[in-house]
Structure 1
Amino acid sequence: MIDLLYFSYPAFQGNHQSCHLICTFVVYTHYCSLVNIDSFAMICTVCYDMLRGHSNIQWRGTFQYLYFCHHSNIQQLRESAHRSCSICRILLIELLRIEDKKKKPVPQNMWSEIYIYIRKLSWNAWFGRGQSVSEEQLNLIEAYLSEHYVAGHDGIYRLDFELVDKTKIGTFVLQRLDCISETSERGESSTPQRIEPLTLDSLYTPSTTRTSADSVLTLAREWIEKCSREHDACPLKEDFDSWYPSRLLDLGEATESNSRVDFDHVRLISTEEVLRNGPTKDCYYVTLSHCWGKAHFTTLTVDKLASFHEGIKIEILPRTFQDAIFVARRLSSKIRYIWIDSLCIMQGSIPEAYEDWLRESAQMYQIYRYSYCNLSATAAVDSSVGLFFQREPRDLWETDINLNVEGVIRESLAVSLRTNQALTAQLGATVPESNPEIQRQETPRIERCRILDVSFWTRYVEDAPVNTRGWVFQERLMAPRVLHFCQNQIAFECRHHYAAESCWTGLHNFRMQGGDIVQRDKFKSLIPHRDNGSLGNLESDNPFLDPTSQIDIYRRWKRVVEVYSKMRLTNPKDKLIALAGVAQMTFDENHDFYVAGMWRTYLESQLLWFVDAVYEDGRFYYRSERPKFYRAPTFSWAAVDVPHGINYGEITDHDLLISVVEVDISPDSENFKFGPVKSGYLTVRGVVNKVELAEIPMNGYVRYAWHLVTKTDTRTVMHRNVYLDSPASDINILGRNGRVHCLAARKDTSGYLICLLLQLETEGNMETGSYKRIGLAKIPSYEEGQERMLEFSDEDEPIPYGNWDANCQKHTIRIV
């Protein structure tokens, strides 16, 4: 049986009747070749026979999944990937990532190095490199198939791949084409929508080998225009015509054919020049997000200001800037300007440049919020790379398969079988272990499904070089629209829609998290959008979040910080200022006092952030560190650098055992309260006890524990739930002389007593009378010692500089 697939092809767009006939014939040929793995293949015979015919099925004594043997060695996988099998290609990419991770310490952005490697080699050389994964390491790939449960919806299947050592190397969703589900973004919400039958007119077929092609930019233009025309929460500049950035690059006046008068130059202009003749309707600017990297390029300095106003030759600019200007001019004749940070903000170490940088940094909120679109050099590791890449267009084509679902068990039942061994044994006994074949009906049940790469958006967008930068976090979040130039295609996101060339009508809502398939996070839902004084009614990943609720404003901030704290910064001093735009946007909602990355309301609970150790290869690693200079008070999460991010305190005013009496924060600039700070402290009231920290050796690595210290040296319970902020940076914290104290802060709903771990601060050999934070600890309800930490008695060591109030039975201390 042979199915006919319909693809659009630009060469045949003139006559619709001939288009149908020719495209049907061409794709019929491709589909036949596809199964034989020739040069036009989309899925190899191993994958096709496994999914359609259940070839190489294995009986494992359980009904949890259908198990299959896949490729038996790396050479087979490499050959299939080289021939563009849509499954094997992704598996090989993941294997390369795993191999590189084992060879050397994990860099902050693994994918940036893989991108560099891909660019150095052609696709053929990359997929054909002999030393990628050893034959011993990959003796066998196994696959298992189950039905993925989505409440109220059928026809969604899960396909997992792993090595014989159980290393996971890939997960795919196989989605029935005619099902009704919540997994497609064909509209402006994630409400259940029918997957409409694909027609020729609705198809976009990537057919060019470079992302700078006219057809690619035409698709980008359609995404942007549809968004600006139909999405109320993604406003156009016309609502803010009187505001422009202090400086812009003039792209030149557009003619009727959208060619520019001065094509070889751009010119730096000021807001005064832009508005000289009054606000102009439909006169937009775009912004550029890029990695600076180590490349050297032309920047705006005090001595170049005059010459930049005269004009800048485009040819002297780095490739990324040239490409961005090229795209901005071609996207729309209404785009008159572009804003690029290094050309519109003065660079250099002189005071005048720093003041200009500080002043412009305070406007980032407006600069990106009021732009027409943000152009993102998503895959480029520095400004010399550019926006555009070579690619194999067939790799972006959708892959549909006739899936044999006979014997596939629903994921929810598989889970219950795993947790009910008796039932598993009972059901398993119905199929003799000696019989490797699972009994089937004579006619297998076949469903037409589309193969979806669950990790696509994470791999090519979220983990791409530019989107791991701290500055780009707020640029991407605040811009109404973002056009991503990825390694092999372009992608688009706004506050309502996410798409890419490989899923041009809308991205599926799946992603991987801890081995589970969950709903994909929508990055721009981290904060609500305010338009003309009212909150936009945006869909949220959390249905319990109300964008108009005061407490939910703080809960959204919690999510913002947890994501942002994973980002890297070229200059660690920028930790707070690179988030200042988002802080300004949040302030417009809550009108609250900003406390070095936190807020005065619910501050007590926000102080309970913590740093998890990283668990890898059977051991724990502590990768956080403090900067070598002052950046924020120790009670702020901004005082530490944590590559894997911090866990923010739960936003609540319930069950708290501390109260903040006084807050003092001194910003570097009185005119910029969301920027860098030069000092700060809190005065806090609560019960403080002296404790002792100790190292606990654990098979080649170290964990930490602590216990209460009393005057009589009576042995007390050792508590092991310890989350140190940065044990590598905080010295002299162990033992009786560590000067460590515990502040009982909250008894949460799970019964845990949460405590702040503080160290008495010294300068030289002198005590300052203040405490600094070094971590957080939790005592579960089943351990002894909770009640003891909630009181202070005559048996306890006196608390230095802790003003004891006998009436409320609490200390008052200062934390810096």
Structure 2
Amino acid sequence: MAPVSVELILMNPRYAVEPGVRMISAGSTSTASEESLKIARAWLDECSFNHMKCSVNTNVVMDSGFGVGGLAGEFTWKPRHLLDVSIKGPRGAPGVKLMDGMFLDPLSEYVTLSHVWGRQKGVRLHKGTLAALRQGVAASSLPKTFAEAAMVTLNLGFRYLWIDALCIMHDSEKDAVAEISMMDRIYSEAVLNIAATGATDDTVGLIAERNVMALQPCVVSVQGLGIEDGVYKCLRSTVWQDLIDSSPLVKRAWVLQERALAKRTLHFTRNELLWECQQTCCSEVFPKGLPATMKAGGVRDGDVFDKRVHHQRHGNWASLVKQYSRGRLTYSGDKLPALGGLARQYMHKNRLRSSDYVCGMWKGMLPQGLLWKVDGGIRPKKWRAPSWAWTSIEGEVGFSDLRQVGQDICLEMVEFLVTTKGEDPFGQVESARLKVRGFMARGLLRRTHDYWGAGRCVIDCTSGQLELETVCFDERLPKLSAMGKHGLAEQVEVYLLPIADWIDRVEGLLLCSNLKKGEFRRLGVFQVRRHHGSDWKQFMDLIKGDPRMANFEERFDHTAAHGQQLTSDYTYLINLV
């Protein structure tokens, strides 16, 4: 049996309030018991009235076409569609009815739902179901998670519920794009976000039956163990990691922005309710707040929208991207839309413009932001972003140091040519091209492993042989043009494009030529350190286009044939796609 991590809490009168361990009654065998919902209401009241960070509307009011802007925007704006969960269906059974948000009471509040869709297609809003949903349907006809979310919404004292499956027209691309572009408002202006955190799909349900004894603290007497002797309560200290961070819901990419944008989220896990807002995290066992050693990190670990000091240059966005890139998507094309709400909020909070955003990055991050790395990435079959953008690949992404101090920048951003599929600048991309000016060297890259992957590689140049200390490919088996006898490339022509020249190293992109002249695709990143001695000077001379290097005329003729423009300072003007 694997060891269990526990938190020891001394039973002492001075801890009567904090950490505030609570014994759950034996009759509370469901996460929707009256006892559990009473705690949830108390959390909501405390957060709404006493939490400064959570009680104000954190979203910037924009002209949406619905409601009115200005100071009253928090109370007047509504999503286009909402579900009224207060109606009665046939024979008085609970029902739901699709409503037009524009015509609802401007002071009414609504709740949102975060959930895992699953593979089975249940009820969705489309032209064929629109009339029935507007007339009202029995809650029991909906997937179990939706029906139980409607019941909980009503029991918490609210009338309206927003569920993406039932409030977005799924057979209308125009409607879907419009609603997705409003995700930041939909979640940030909701009074509460309910999360089906413990459910693997919509058929499982929101509410869980539980063994109350498994939640109770174990009381032990401790003597002579190097800590203060006394009677302790033993509790698992990894509750948040086990029930939230490892849950099926959090592995879904869309959910990161849903949690980050919502003022407060009530998690229905597999055995207890947990609370998450911008000021605190609670559980049914710790209703006054989790101890510091048990608190969550990640999405609530500081404000991802706050500006940082200048030398960190979008370090908080890089951290957010790392979290987001771990998530899974049902549809590959959602990579940018599922991040759009966060990007829009980040833009407003940091006083940026939509034109500063390019394919999941901010221009202020560049060119250092091009040095992202991914371990064992997979590029989807269908194009969704340019190779130089991290959004082009599946896998956990990490960024190189984004600070400006301590490095010389070797690459100039000349022009961004990005076309989106619709009007939303944070949505899907139709095409993208980045024109840059910098030094560049050509060579043959040979494998030193049985596979193309991270590790040391040798590059043969016209003036000799250089060893690159680290080459990190975006894909484990990148699509290279030169093929060996075993089907894998034994060597391939590559181009080195340095970006950051540090005191001890140079970092840059590893490129290959595209089918079109003057265009290059990213294969990965490289790093060369100064401790290589004479190799270092040779490398720097090669990179910086020293005319004394051998076969320079041959090098110029070759690059010109590939459509690159060589300037008087031995830099090249190329297009990255």
Query: Is TM more than 0.5 here?
Result: yes
Of 305, 327, 331, the residue aligned with 2:156 is 331
- Could you tell me which residue of structure 2 aligns to residue 507 of structure 1? 290
> What CA distance in whole angstroms lies between the structure 1 residues aligned with 2:191 and 2:494?
53
What's the TM-score once normalised by structure 2's chain length?
Answer: 0.86
- Could you tell me which residue of structure 2 aligns to residue 533 of structure 1? none
Q: Deviations over 1:711-749 (max 9, x none)?
A: 25x2x2322412110133423367686231111111346
> What CA distance in whole angstroms lies between the structure 1 residues aligned with 2:233 and 2:197?
27
- Which segments of 5 or more consecutive residues in structure 1 lack a partner in the other structure? 1-91, 96-160, 162-169, 179-193, 255-260, 409-444, 512-518, 530-545, 613-621
Of 361, 365, 387, the residue aligned with 1:598 is 361
Alpha carbons of structure 1 residues 355 and 199: separation in structure 2 relative to 1, 3 Å? closer
> What secondary structure is seen at the aligned counterpart in 1 of 2:148?
helix
Matching of residue 285 in structure 1 with residue 110 in structure 2: yes
Matching of residue 740 in structure 1 with residue 494 in structure 2: yes
Of 684, 689, 703, the residue aligned with 2:436 is 684
**Aligned residues of 1:288 and 1:340 also touching (Cα < 8 A):** yes
Alpha carbons of structure 1 residues 456 and 694: separation in structure 2 relative to 1, 3 Å? farther
Q: Deviations over 1:603-645 (max 9, x none)?
A: 1111111113xxxxxxxxx3x2101011001110000001xx1
- Could you tell me which residue of structure 2 aligns to residue 617 of structure 1? none
**Aligned residues of 2:416 and 2:435 also touching (Cα < 8 A):** yes
Alpha carbons of structure 1 residues 528 and 405: separation in structure 2 relative to 1, 3 Å? same
> What CA distance in whole angstroms lies between the structure 1 residues aligned with 2:502 and 2:224?
46
Matching of residue 362 in structure 1 with residue 181 in structure 2: yes
> What secondary structure is seen at the aligned counterpart in 1 of 2:344?
helix
Of 127, 134, 142, the residue aligned with 1:309 is 134
> What secondary structure is seen at the aligned counterpart in 1 of 2:322?
helix
Alpha carbons of structure 1 residues 706 and 397: separation in structure 2 relative to 1, 3 Å? same
> Which of structures 1 and 2 has the larger relative contact order (alpha carbons within 8 angstroms, sep 6+)?
2
Q: Deviations over 1:71-101 (max 9, x none)?
A: xxxxxxxxxxxxxxxxxxxxx4xx4xxxxxx
> What CA distance in whole angstroms lies between the structure 2 residues aligned with 1:250 and 1:729?
51
Matching of residue 667 in structure 1 with residue 429 in structure 2: no
**Aligned residues of 1:526 and 1:559 also touching (Cα < 8 A):** no
> What CA distance in whole angstroms lies between the structure 2 residues aligned with 1:297 and 1:370?
27
Tell me by how many angstroms 1:308 deviates. 1.6
Q: CA RMSD in A?
A: 2.9
> What secondary structure is seen at the aligned counterpart in 2 of 1:291?
coil
> What CA distance in whole angstroms lies between the structure 2 residues aligned with 1:200 and 1:626?
47
Paired residues for 1:379-418 under 5 Å: 379-406=198-225
Q: Deviations over 1:50-77 (max 9, x none)?
A: xxxxxxxxxxxxxxxxxxxxxxxxxxxx
> What secondary structure is seen at the aligned counterpart in 2 of 1:801?
coil
Q: Deviations over 1:364-387 (max 9, x none)?
A: 000000001111010111100001
Identity, % of aligned pairs?
A: 26
**Aligned residues of 2:416 and 2:434 also touching (Cα < 8 A):** yes
> What CA distance in whole angstroms lies between the structure 2 residues aligned with 1:222 and 1:458?
24
Alpha carbons of structure 1 residues 297 and 226: separation in structure 2 relative to 1, 3 Å? same
| Aligned residue type for 2:47 | C
- Could you tell me which residue of structure 2 aligns to residue 706 of structure 1? 457
**Aligned residues of 2:420 and 2:431 also touching (Cα < 8 A):** yes
> What CA distance in whole angstroms lies between the structure 1 residues aligned with 2:482 and 2:38?
60
**Aligned residues of 1:405 and 1:447 also touching (Cα < 8 A):** no
Matching of residue 484 in structure 1 with residue 303 in structure 2: no
Matching of residue 341 in structure 1 with residue 164 in structure 2: yes
Q: Deviations over 1:522-555 (max 9, x none)?
A: 52245456xxxxxxxxxxxxxxxx7465666722
**Aligned residues of 1:608 and 1:648 also touching (Cα < 8 A):** yes
What is the number of residues matched between the two proteins?
Answer: 538
Tell me by how many angstroms 1:691 deviates. 3.1
Q: Deviations over 1:567-609 (max 9, x none)?
A: 0000111000000000000111231311100011131111111
| Aligned residue type for 2:418 | I
> What CA distance in whole angstroms lies between the structure 2 residues aligned with 1:288 and 1:219?
19
- Could you tell me which residue of structure 2 aligns to residue 61 of structure 1? none
Tell me by how many angstroms 1:309 deviates. 1.4
- Could you tell me which residue of structure 2 aligns to residue 269 of structure 1? 99
- Could you tell me which residue of structure 2 aligns to residue 542 of structure 1? none
Paired residues for 1:557-706 under 5 Å: 557-588=317-348, 589-592=350-353, 593-612=356-375, 622=376, 624-642=377-395, 645-654=396-405, 655=407, 656-669=409-422, 671-697=423-449, 704-706=455-457
Of 222, 238, 245, the residue aligned with 2:42 is 222
- Could you tell me which residue of structure 2 aligns to residue 496 of structure 1? 279
| Aligned residue type for 1:504 | P
Tell me by how many angstroms 1:468 deviates. 0.7
Q: Deviations over 1:140-197 (max 9, x none)?
A: xxxxxxxxxxxxxxxxxxxxx4xxxxxxxx444435566xxxxxxxxxxxxxxx9623
> What CA distance in whole angstroms lies between the structure 2 residues aligned with 1:405 and 1:603?
57
> What secondary structure is seen at the aligned counterpart in 2 of 1:753?
strand
| Aligned residue type for 2:247 | A
Q: Deviations over 1:662-705 (max 9, x none)?
A: 11111111x2000000111111122111133333337x996543
- Which segments of 5 or more consecutive residues in structure 2 lack a partner in the other structure? 58-71, 484-488
